[in-house]
Amino acid sequence: MTEIRSILPLSVNGLCFEARGKRLVKEATFKIEAGSRTMVLGANGAGKSLLLRLCHGLLDPAQGTVSWNGDVSFSKAVRARQAMVFQRPVMLRRSALANIEYALKLQGVEKAERADRAYSVLKRVGLGRLADQPARVLSFGEQQRLAMARAWAIRPEVLFLDEPSASLDPSATHSIEESITAIAEEGATIIMTTHDLGQAKRLGTDVMFLHRGRILEQANASDFFAGPKNDLAQAFLRGDLLWWKRKAPYPGGGIEAQKI
């Protein structure tokens, strides 16, 4: 049997994305190594979701390259080894279990194996009792967990998670974090966005801070949380509003940001 070659490292070089004549991702360059858990941080609209979608091959860059272990073509083999959980999950009009089984079918998993594998991940995200419910009647938080289970089931080498616990209560958030840790322990490399800084600290090995489409800081997580070098990243961690292109100090406080 031929050994399956890893799709990592992921190397992103000079990546730009434009829509409606506006540059929304600006010259992103970074490398992600196997086994890391990268937290992509930044304010609303910073470009986090776009960056994940570009890496996952869902958007075409205006410039630059995304290369998976040297492969820039985003081949079928590369696609098959990664999964993404979207900020707003999309479910098929069928049961929770069948949603996962369908994802397994697309991956070429044998029919006999699908139901068991689907049910075991559903249980692991705490949705075992909802296996036969139509996925679209599940609450938003349940759908988010189902989307996580669906991604987990295909045993990706790389898992993109776009705010996986944004609508979850504290106990469901805890369970999602346990799932992410378990998936990582099974060998997956995690690239995720979150607005929950505690979560980023708990889960991350690395941090990427985005502001207005540009990566302003990349660091290992402990260095970043001990004190980022970039002043906007410092302000972000303090919870200050990132004022845009201001000259005079704002009367009500806030930090002064330069146009980037």
Binding site for ligand ATP (CB under 6 A): 19-20, 24, 42, 44-50, 87
Q: How far is the CB of 56 from Mg ion (least distance, A)?
A: 13
Is the separation of the CB atoms in 209 and 215 below 8 Å? Answer: yes
117 contact choice in Mg ion, ligand ATP, none (CB below 5 to 8 Å, kind-dependent) = none
Which of residues 49 and 173 has its CB atom nearest to Mg ion in the complex? 49
- Interface residue list for Mg ion (CB under 5 A): 49
Q: How far is the CB of 56 from ligand ATP (least distance, A)?
A: 13
Q: How far is the CB of 243 from Mg ion (least distance, A)?
A: 21
- The DSSP bridge partners found for residue 84 are 160
Which of residues 20 and 238 has its CB atom nearest to ligand ATP in the complex? 20
Helix (H) or strand (E) holding 141: helix 140-153
Q: What is the DSSP letter of 89?
A: -
Which of residues 99 and 193 has its CB atom nearest to ligand ATP in the complex? 193
Q: How far is the C-alpha of 250 from the C-alpha of 52, rounded, in Å? A: 33
Helix (H, G, I), strand (E, B) or coil at 165: coil
Q: How far is the CB of 58 from Mg ion (least distance, A)?
A: 13
204 contact choice in Mg ion, ligand ATP, none (CB below 5 to 8 Å, kind-dependent) = none
Which of residues 42 and 61 has its CB atom nearest to ligand ATP in the complex? 42
45 contact choice in ligand ATP, Mg ion, none (CB below 5 to 8 Å, kind-dependent) = ligand ATP
Q: How far is the CB of 104 from Mg ion (least distance, A)?
A: 27
Q: How far is the CB of 27 from ligand ATP (least distance, A)?
A: 15
Helices (H), 16-139: 48-55, 76-80, 96-106, 111-124
CA distances from residue 252 to 1, 69, 176, 255 in whole angstroms, order as listed: 66, 49, 38, 10
Which of residues 25 and 122 has its CB atom nearest to ligand ATP in the complex? 25
Q: How far is the C-alpha of 123 from the C-alpha of 43, rounded, in Å? A: 33
CA distances from residue 65 to 11, 13, 20, 150 in whole angstroms, order as listed: 8, 5, 21, 28
Provide CB contacts within 8 A for 17, sequence distance 6+. Answer: 23, 24, 25, 47, 50, 54, 59, 61, 62, 213
Which of residues 157 and 217 has its CB atom nearest to ligand ATP in the complex? 217
Amino acid found at 47: G
35 contact choice in Mg ion, ligand ATP, none (CB below 5 to 8 Å, kind-dependent) = none
Closest-by-Cβ residue to Mg ion is 49
47 contact choice in Mg ion, ligand ATP, none (CB below 5 to 8 Å, kind-dependent) = ligand ATP
